[in-house]
Structure 1
């Protein structure tokens, strides 16, 4: 069972990393059983994309070089911890992918046949064709919803 304490309070974080986690352009993509993070503060964000593992409601590891080299939490893990809506959605999606149910999924009511894709994507949309889950900006704005059956298509 996850602790009642905020995830940020459970991480060992330096003040510098906390600041960077707040101001850098981090985008999160929920991909059970992990969360992909991409840093758009760099001119080549495709080379700054990493996977964050979650356990007990806490971002526990990241594939970035800083998280591997240093004992304290990296800016990607901290960035996920301070964005509680994203972390909660990732936890719910992982539960659904493991065969449980996610009762608090966001439902936009859009009712499209293509998984919520629209003809012209808003400027903040980071959805990619073929992704099983929509990007966080679309979920947060209510344009798209997380499927309750995320992960059911894998055997």
Structure 2
């Protein structure tokens, strides 16, 4: 049911984009190509919503790691056409419409507490110690004050 709603939302917003024009116009093939490119070029990338408690918890769990964050709007019903189509494309890759979605080295690692190799998403990876093994810690850079 949700997958159908997501597809309908993306289609309707796409039609509106064609009627109104830019910035609402998008090409679904380009969206998918861009998504695959983002997942490939970033060692770790997570797709989130701004108002999602699951996304907030996932970002908190990942705060010490070097992860690219792509926010697809505030919530599913407040997405723009490109973001809606991105969500459809993510569902095609992962089998789920829910966000967040974490990819590491091009492989889907799950959502906050579902999917992925552990079956329990980011929470499962954190509990079994895998986050430290698959993600790079953020680098803390230290500098010296200039001479006065």
The structure, 1 or 2, with the larger RCO (C-alpha pairs under 8 Å, 6+ apart) is: 2
Output the TM-score relative to the length of structure 1. 0.33
Structure with greater helix percent: 2
What is the TM-score when the length of structure 2 is the normalising length? Answer: 0.34
